[in-house]
Each structure stands twice: as structure tokens, then as C-alpha cells.
């Protein structure tokens, strides 16, 4: 595998995840700042040109802003390289459609990390047999405030809806079934609330912020069914090592078997459509 992008998320998560998996060889990396990539993977594995990286790898791992990913990933797919993609696929449906269409020729996986948490997989199984009527997702932190490691320009400009919205909308769709309507209110750069209406009649609600300073962030999902409430707390219930392993286990096995990954670019396109619907709703309010 080869890494594209050398930002804080690549340093904190992608490189350790790739280095520790027994079936993955991180053979190189490319970034617009070669010195940053050299710090992450070493000078000997840092390449000068994106095309040079494509020459070396089977899978390209993207950790770049969404619009950059939407530009670069189709070229990798055209070369037959499989895709490990970040969310959202792009900044709008048109970018996402182009990427998702290119990804049909290869195996792709979208890094909607929460869905690979063992506790969330168990929650999905419970939901499939419990006919839930509602779910809430709360993702609140100060991660987008100036000076924070993840306060990258696109996150500060576009706010929580583009950063956390894909996780929340994907999760609501997974636990409550297909979404038929999305409405949103608020300010993505401060606090945004998203409501979903599902084909089953269930209702979902997400509260999202990356500019609310807290001693500790909140990342929580609760699902309501007759007589029971179940949920997931990202700080209490997360198994980070198992999740990292599960993500790459899924991608490696999908590539080897020539099948779609469980959460692929087509799923990413669906989530992008829900995200665009939320943005459209905000523009009407």
C-alpha cells in the first residue's frame, strides 16, 4: 500500500494502522510537502511524484482534503489501483459521482471508522431484529478550534457537517434503515442539528460540533426500540486496536477475493447524497 497525504490524521492513525497490520506493506508515500512525508515514513519511502507512487503499489490510501481526493483517486483507479478513501468522497455529489464511477473498476473502502467498531457492529445486528423507532447521534468537540491538531483549513472553513456529518448520517442509515428525508438547521461552523426520516417510519437526530470546547469530547449513539435502549459511547466502548485491524482485514480480504468491501465508494456516494441534502436544507433556512 502507498499513502497520499501527510497531515495530522495520517500521522496519528493511518501510518500506525498500516505499519502494524501483518498483511500490509507500506511501501511508500507522496505528499505536496515531501519533508512532511519523510517524517512519517522515512526519506527512502518518500516519492517525488504521485505517478511514481502508483507504479509501486496495489492499494492507494488517501488522507487528503476531500476535493484533492476527488481529483487524485480516479487516476489511481484508472491504473488499476485499489482505493482506501476518506470521507466525504468530495465536497459535493458531482465530485463524489466521478470518484465512485471510477472506483467501480477496482476494490474500494471508505474509512467510516465508527462502522468498524466491534460494539457498533453488534449494535447493528441488534437493530436488524428489533425494529427501532428512533436514534440519536451526538458528536461534539473542540477539534476544529484554532491550534488544535485537526483544525485543518477545510474543516475550519466547512465545519462539523462535512467533517462529522458523514459518520452520523451513515450510522443513522445503518441502524434505522434507508433515509428518505434529511433536514438541517444551525451553523456547521458552530453547531448543526440534522434530522432524518427513514423508510421504516423511524426518526434520527444528530447534533454535531467541532468548535465547542469541552474537557472531553462526546461521541455517542443511542437507538430506541420497544422496551429497550441500546447505544455506543465512542470514548467508553471503543476498541481502537480491534477497529484498526478490522478496517484493513476487510480491505485486504476484499482485494484478494475480488469483491466490493462492506463500506465501499458506492456507500460513500449514498452518504454524500445525504450530506448534500443536509446542506440544501441549511440553505433554505
pLDDT tens-digit profile of 201-238?
999 999 999 999 999 999 999 999 998 999 999 999 99
What share of the chain has pLDDT > 70, as a percent? 100
Do 202 and 177 form a contact (C-beta atoms < 8 A)?
Answer: yes
Does the pLDDT of residue 285 top 90, yes or no?
no
**Mean pLDDT across 20-24:** 97
**Mean pLDDT across 167-188:** 98
* Residue-range domain boundaries for the chain: 2-112+242-264, 118-237
Q: Where are the beta strands (DSSP E) in the chain?
A: 2-4, 28-30, 59-62, 82-85, 108-110, 134-140, 179-187, 191-198, 203-209, 218-225, 228-233
Q: Give me the chain's average pLDDT, please.
A: 97
Residue 208's DSSP bridge partners are 139, 192
Cell of 279: 446542506
Distance (Å, whole) CA 191 – CA 200? 28
Confidence of residue 255 (pLDDT cuts 50, 70, 90): very high
Question: Cβ contacts of residue 250 below 8 Å, gap of 6+?
Answer: 109, 116, 261, 262, 263
Cell of 46: 518518500
* pLDDT score recorded for residue 22: 97
**Mean pLDDT across 115-130:** 96
**Mean pLDDT across 53-67:** 98
For 118-237, CATH gives 3.30.360.10
Distance (Å, whole) CA 151 – CA 154? 8
Does the pLDDT of residue 134 top 90, yes or no?
yes
Distance (Å, whole) CA 47 – CA 63? 16
pLDDT digits (tens, 9 = 90+) for 80-116: 999 999 999 999 999 999 999 999 999 999 999 999 9
Q: Which CATH superfamily is domain 2-112+242-264 in?
A: NAD(P)-binding Rossmann-like Domain (3.40.50.720)
Edge-to-edge strand list for the sheet holding 82-85: 28-30, 2-4, 59-62, 82-85, 108-110
**Mean pLDDT across 252-271:** 97
Amino acid at each position: 500500500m502507498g499513502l497520499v497525504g501527510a497531515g495530522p490524521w495520517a500521522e496519528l492513525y493511518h501510518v500506525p494502522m498500516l505499519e502494524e497490520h501483518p498483511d500490509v506493506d507500506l511501501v511508500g508515500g507522496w505528499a505536496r510537502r515531501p519533508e512532511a512525508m519523510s517524517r512519517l515514513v522515512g526519506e527512502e519511502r518518500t516519492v517525488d511524484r504521485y505517478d511514481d507512487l502508483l507504479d509501486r503499489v496495489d492499494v492507494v490510501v488517501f488522507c487528503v482534503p476531500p476535493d484533492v481526493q476527488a481529483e487524485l483517486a480516479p487516476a489511481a483507479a484508472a491504473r488499476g489501483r485499489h482505493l482506501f478513501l476518506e470521507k466525504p468522497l468530495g465536497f459535493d455529489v458531482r465530485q463524489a459521482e466521478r470518484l465512485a464511477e471510477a472506483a467501480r473498476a477496482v476494490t474500494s473502502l471508505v474509512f467510516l471508522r465508527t462502522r468498524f467498531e466491534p460494539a457498533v457492529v453488534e449494535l447493528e445486528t441488534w437493530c436488524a431484529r428489533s425494529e427501532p423507532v428512533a436514534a440519536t447521534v451526538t458528536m461534539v468537540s473542540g477539534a476544529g478550534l484554532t491550534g488544535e491538531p485537526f483544525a485543518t483549513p477545510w474543516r475550519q472553513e466547512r465545519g462539523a457537517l462535512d467533517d462529522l456529518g458523514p459518520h452520523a448520517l451513515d450510522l443513522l442509515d445503518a441502524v434505522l434503515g434507508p433515509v428518505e428525508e434529511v433536514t438541517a438547521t444551525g451553523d456547521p461552523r458552530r453547531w448543526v442539528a440534522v434530522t432524518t426520516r427513514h423508510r421504516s417510519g423511524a426518526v434520527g437526530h444528530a447534533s454535531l460540533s467541532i468548535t465547542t470546547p469541552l474537557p472531553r469530547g462526546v461521541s455517542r449513539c443511542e437507538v430506541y426500540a420497544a422496551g429497550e435502549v441500546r447505544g455506543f459511547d465512542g470514548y467508553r466502548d471503543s476498541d481502537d486496536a480491534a477497529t484498526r485491524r478490522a478496517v484493513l482485514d476487510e480491505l485486504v480480504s476484499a482485494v484478494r477475493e475480488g469483491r466490493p468491501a462492506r463500506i465501499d465508494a458506492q456507500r460513500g456516494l449514498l452518504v454524500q447524497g445525504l450530506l448534500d441534502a443536509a446542506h440544501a436544507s441549511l440553505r433554505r433556512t
